[in-house]
């Protein structure tokens, strides 16, 4: 039995309606409890801001394309090196750090759980290997279904149960967490160097539309009663005028779940552009935000872009090639048979660029115009919009209108007529920030009931204590202090154990990988389906028996079993 008592914590926990109350938190065996014995280890939180551990519901930190981002970028690796020190391994990388680099940086920012945004099932083993080398966060993986042949064939046959059965088999086989659709249909078209323009374009050969793929997978997701909803990266990312496609994609989603959203739309900043070309690009964040405000069954994340150097990486292969043609820097692409694709290019987001300035404003506008913070989560699509180490700056921007105005003043003057940010004076409070960075994620991922994203009794004791007395400062004026405090926790506690203190890592390992195993009726299982098996053996280059990720790859694992509603 291990016990911990955190005294004088200034707790912000919107799930339990605690808003800046100074209180003690008792922890036994990794869970929040009513009280502990006097033998408990005591931490004095000194009245500092205390929240549940941060959860990143969309980040790219592990797997084939992330590692390729490192592999192809020694210049990025040398830009972020740290020494081996005590328990800490040496790290490399700025925008795509090594697994230890990611894990340490997240830990010192108070993040304790992360969702890898895109895992190709065929290469899942790789993602899990990197999860094993990401020692201080609980990890989950979105599984890509955007160009899955058996799924598209079942969608074409309007057989939603077969879609559900295929998803169930794949999720179980690859130990994944949720359904991800990246540029639905577009990644398959990219197998021929083509793309789809929006949700009504048929996919070459398969003759299904992205809209049909999205809708059927949402229904299949709810049949399987998966914890998270379908996680969608819309068609047409990064194209002027794409906002209408984004809204059209949201319109496709039925409202099927009472406890959480039915569709999670990711990095919406990249999907809220007006205009007809790069020359007249402007923000349509207000239109997209309106749509989200009207649809409580949709949750988005910001996909905030921040100025500076980074690496873009996504399963959206065709988008990356278009970006390459703009930037002429290096370009990598990796299409995955029967499943999906991916692309990587380095970019530099410049304050001098009107396009980049508009992008920067859009992410913030979304967060400020969407009324319910649990419907707009904080993420940068790390590292696409910017490396996650910039989250503190984003939080400060959301909390301070003067900070935003000061930043706007540094942008090209032509930007102002294309954005609505200068006129928005909303400033988020700590409750709302907690909703955007942990509570909302816990709900969106379906993990709130499992004790994540809050600090109520029975919750998992993942706790972040930031060196900031929130009663004593005005974030609107003292935003630099907010940034400083959120960069390095005084304590990051995971499962009741201190894993980081003042930037120093104090634990070798403290994590689990969360995955789902949906149970469907025996006779519908794909491992008994002759068609599925025959096509698998014929068209994949790996035998079906060698495809599933073995137990050896999830030595620390939390399996969520669901019972399908058949």
Residue ranges in contact with another protein by CB under 8 A: 62, 64, 67-68, 70-78, 81-84, 89-93, 97-101, 122-123, 125-126, 129-130, 133, 149, 190-193, 205, 321, 324-325, 329-338, 341, 344-345, 538-543, 545-546, 550, 552
Q: What is the nearest approach in angstroms of another protein to the Cβ of residue 335?
A: 4
Of the candidates 143, 236, 135, the one whose C-alpha atom is nearest the C-alpha of residue 185 is 236
Instruction: Give 91 or 229: the residue with its C-beta nearer to another protein.
Output: 91
Which residues, 6 or more positions from 502, have their beta carbon under 8 angstroms from its beta carbon?
467, 488, 489, 490
Task: Give the nearer residue to another protein in terms of CB position, either 199 or 338.
Answer: 338
Write out the H or E segment, with its range, that includes residue 513: strand 513-519
Minimum Å gap between C-beta 541 and another protein is 4
Q: Which is nearer to another protein, 144 or 211 (CB)?
A: 144
**Does the N-terminal peptide bond of residue 383 adopt cis geometry, omega within 30 degrees of 0?**
yes
CB of 353 to another protein, least distance (A): 18
Q: What is the DSSP letter of 437?
A: I
Nearer of residues 16 and 333 to another protein, judged by Cβ: 333
**Inter-CA distances, 165 with 208, 310, 375, 409, 427, Å:** 19, 38, 29, 54, 45
| Other residues' Cβ atoms within 10 Å of the Cβ of residue 547 | 17
Q: Is 192 or 523 the residue whose CB approaches another protein more closely?
A: 192
The pair of structure tokens assigned to 241 is: 């005028």
CA 446/CA 260 separation, integer angstroms: 7
Q: Cα-Cα-Cα-Cα dihedral of 452, 457, 458, 463, to 10°?
A: 50
Shortest distance, CB of residue 147 to another protein, whole angstroms? 11
Q: How far is the CB of 299 from another protein (least distance, A)?
A: 30
Outline where DSSP puts E strands in 34-193: 41-44, 49-52, 54-59, 111-119, 138-144, 178-182
Radius of gyration of the chain (CA): 22
Beta-bridge mates of residue 231: 180, 264
Cβ proximity to another protein, 56 vs 123, nearer residue: 123
| DSSP single-letter state for residue 527 | G
Residues 6 or more apart whose Cβ sits within 8 Å of residue 446? 226, 227, 228, 229, 259, 260
Q: State the minimum distance, in angstroms, from the CB of residue 314 to another protein.
A: 14
We find the least distance from the C-beta atom of residue 104 to another protein, in angstroms, to be: 13
Length of the chain: 566
Min dist. Cβ of residue 494 to another protein (A): 21
Minimum distance of another protein from residue 60's CB (angstroms): 13
Residue 169 CB burial class (10 angstroms; 0-12, 13-18, ≥19): buried
Would you say 191 or 412 has its CB closer to another protein? 191
Between 99 and 272, name the residue whose CB sits nearer to another protein.
99
- Residues contacting 516, CB < 8 A, separation 6+: 171, 172, 176, 177, 178, 226, 227, 559, 560, 561, 562
Least CB distance from residue 328 to another protein, whole Å? 9
Residue (76 or 301) nearer to another protein, CB: 76
Burial category of 182 from C-beta neighbours within 10 Å (exposed 0-12, middle 13-18, buried 19 and up): buried
Q: Is 82 or 431 the residue whose CB approaches another protein more closely?
A: 82
């Amino acid at each position: 039995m291990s016990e911990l008592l955190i005294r004088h914590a200034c707790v912000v926990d919107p799930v339990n309606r605690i808003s800046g109350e100074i209180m003690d938190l008792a922890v036994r065996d990794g869970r929040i409890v009513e009280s502990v014995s006097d033998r408990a280890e005591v931490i004095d939180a000194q009245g500092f801001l205390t929240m549940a551990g941060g959860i990143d519901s969309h980040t790219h930190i592990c797997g084939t394309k992330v590692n390729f981002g490192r592999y192809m970028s020694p210049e990025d690796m040398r830009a972020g090196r740290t020494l081996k020190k005590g328990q800490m391994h040496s790290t490399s990388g700025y925008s795509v750090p090594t697994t230890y680099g990611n894990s340490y940086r997240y830990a010192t920012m108070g993040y304790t759980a992360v969702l890898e945004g895109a895992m190709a099932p065929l290469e899942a083993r790789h993602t899990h290997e990197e999860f094993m080398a990401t020692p201080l966060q609980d990890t989950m993986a979105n599984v890509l279904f955007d160009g899955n042949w058996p799924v598209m064939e079942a969608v074409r046959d309007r057989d939603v149960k077969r879609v559900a059965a295929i998803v169930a088999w794949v999720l179980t086989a690859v130990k994944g967490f949720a359904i991800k659709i990246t540029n639905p249909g577009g990644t398959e078209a990219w197998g021929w160097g083509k793309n789809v323009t929006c949700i009504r374009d048929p996919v070459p050969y398969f003759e299904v539309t992205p809209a049909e793929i999205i809708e059927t997978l949402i229904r299949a997701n709810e049949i399987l009663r998966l914890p998270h909803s379908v996680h969608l990266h819309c068609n047409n990312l990064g194209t002027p005028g794409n906002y209408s496609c984004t809204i059209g994609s949201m319109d496709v989603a039925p409202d099927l779940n009472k406890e959480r959203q039915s569709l999670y739309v990711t990095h919406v900043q990249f999907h809220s552009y007006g205009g007809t070309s790069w020359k007249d690009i402007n923000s349509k964040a207000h239109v997209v935000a309106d749509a989200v405000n009207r649809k409580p069954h949709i949750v988005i994340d910001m996909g905030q872009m921040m100025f500076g150097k980074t690496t873009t990486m996504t399963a959206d292969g065709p988008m990356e090639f278009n970006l390459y043609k703009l930037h002429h820097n290096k370009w990598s692409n990796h299409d995955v048979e029967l499943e999906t694709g991916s692309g990587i290019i380095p970019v530099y987001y410049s304050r001098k660029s009107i396009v980049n300035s508009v992008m920067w404003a859009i992410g913030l506008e979304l967060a400020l115009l969407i009324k319910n913070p649990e419907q707009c989560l904080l993420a940068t699509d790390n590292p696409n919009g910017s490396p996650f180490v910039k989250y503190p700056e984003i939080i400060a921007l959301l909390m301070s209108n003067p900070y935003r105005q000061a930043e706007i003043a540094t942008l090209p003057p032509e930007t102002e007529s294309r954005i609505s940010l200068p006129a928005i004076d909303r400033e988020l409070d700590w409750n709302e920030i907690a909703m955007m960075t942990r509570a909302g994620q816990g709900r969106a991922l379906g993990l709130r009931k499992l004790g994540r994203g809050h600090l109520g009794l029975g919750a998992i004791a993942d706790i972040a204590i930031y060196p900031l007395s929130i009663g004593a400062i005005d974030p609107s004026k003292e935003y630099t202090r907010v940034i400083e405090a959120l960069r390095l926790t005084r304590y990051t506690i995971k499962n009741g154990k201190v894993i980081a203190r003042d930037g120093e890592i104090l634990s070798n390992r403290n994590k689990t990988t969360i995955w789902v195993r949906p149970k469907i009726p025996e006779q519908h299982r794909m491992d008994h389906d002759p068609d599925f098996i025959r096509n698998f053996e014929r068209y994949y280059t790996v035998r079906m028996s060698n495809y599933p990720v073995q137990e050896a790859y999830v030595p620390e694992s939390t399996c969520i079993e669901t019972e399908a509603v058949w």
